[in-house]
Amino acid sequence: MFVRRNPQLNRNDELIHLLSIEGLPASIVHHILDTAGTFLSVNDREVKKVPLLRGKSVFNLFFENSTRTRTTFEIAAKRLSADVINLDIARSSTAKGESLLDTIANLSAMHADMFVVRHSESGAPYLIARHCAPHVHVVNAGDGGHSHPTQGLLDMYTIRHYKRDFHELTVAIVGDIVHSRVARSDIHALTTLGVPEIRAVGPKTLVPGDLKEMGVRVCHDMAEGIRGADVIIMLRLQNERMGGAMLPSAGEFFKTFGLTAEKLALARPDAIVMHPGPINRGVEIDSSVADGKQSVILPQVTFGIAVRMAVMSIIAGNSA
């Protein structure tokens, strides 16, 4: 069989696309987090811009709706002085029957330098990276249930900011893991950075046993899952999972796996609570926890902009 090259690295093992955290060396992850740290101060300046991507065109291609992620990418690109073009593909060309690769070919002809792609199918950014011009960079902004690497990286930035060291942490990820690209990216990032205990917590319909192979401990009991945790990452529960065969109701989920102040008391006293947003209050998390002093949900958003600036500036500096 063939040994396939990791398509997000060039021959010198430098990052040219960001498609997944899986397979990235820890050195690259740390480099992104360090770079994000330097950009964080840009966000606090009077003039919030650096000229690293001046003259470059960044196309936000969102084949699946999103406001938050797209906005943070847009802000990040603008703070790097790039020209940003937002395309709401979900409602335009594909609706007219144009294929994904035709869309990409057309946008490439408009001299795009970077595509930020969100798609409902796992692997779509790989297809785009494989078929776009060599000078074009692709950032995966979420593909199906596969990967959401910038979210994973901003979560790592957040953990590093509050906990400093990864090597003695217990991290619990709670909720709909089977459908979550955020959970997968977090798991890859946490294992890459040397976190010794990662727990995946939820009912068997949402937390498959196969996850063990990704290096996590699978817990089907909330108390067992969060006891002694340093970090709790709550996942958003999609409404469409409710009322089918996955879960009987939002109420029952909240009762069994929702994070309340009572359950949070089982974690370490200095534990932080994270959530990729947008949150469902009273479904996966209680308001008193989401707004409580252990919550770092809003700082995550701020860090997200710096991390996306770091990713875009790093890949733009490397060539295929």
From 65-73, 85-93, 116-124, 307-315, span contacting another protein (CB under 8 A): 116-124
From 140-148, 154-162, 166-174, 256-264, span contacting another protein (CB under 8 A): 140-148
208 or 251: CB nearest another protein: 208
CA distances from 198 to 13, 158, 258, 259, 312 (A): 28, 16, 18, 17, 28
* CB neighbour list of residue 165: distance below 8 Å, 6 or more residues apart: none
Q: How far is the CB of 106 from another protein (least distance, A)?
A: 15
From 42-50, 108-116, 138-146, 157-165, span contacting another protein (CB under 8 A): 138-146
The correct pick among 28, 206, 211, 250 for binding another protein (CB under 8 A) is 211
Q: Can residue 178 be called a binding residue for another protein (CB under 8 A)?
A: yes
* CB neighbour list of residue 144: distance below 8 Å, 6 or more residues apart: 119, 120, 121, 122, 123, 124, 181
Q: Can residue 237 be called a binding residue for another protein (CB under 8 A)?
A: no
- Contacting another protein within 64-103 (CB under 8 A): 99-101
Q: Can residue 117 be called a binding residue for another protein (CB under 8 A)?
A: no
Q: Can residue 184 be called a binding residue for another protein (CB under 8 A)?
A: yes
The correct pick among 98, 121, 197, 224 for binding another protein (CB under 8 A) is 121
218 or 309: CB nearest another protein: 218
Residues contacting another protein: total by CB under 8 A: 31
Per CB under 8 A, residues contacting another protein are 1-2, 4, 6-7, 22, 99-101, 119, 121-124, 126-127, 131, 143-147, 178, 181, 184, 208, 210-214
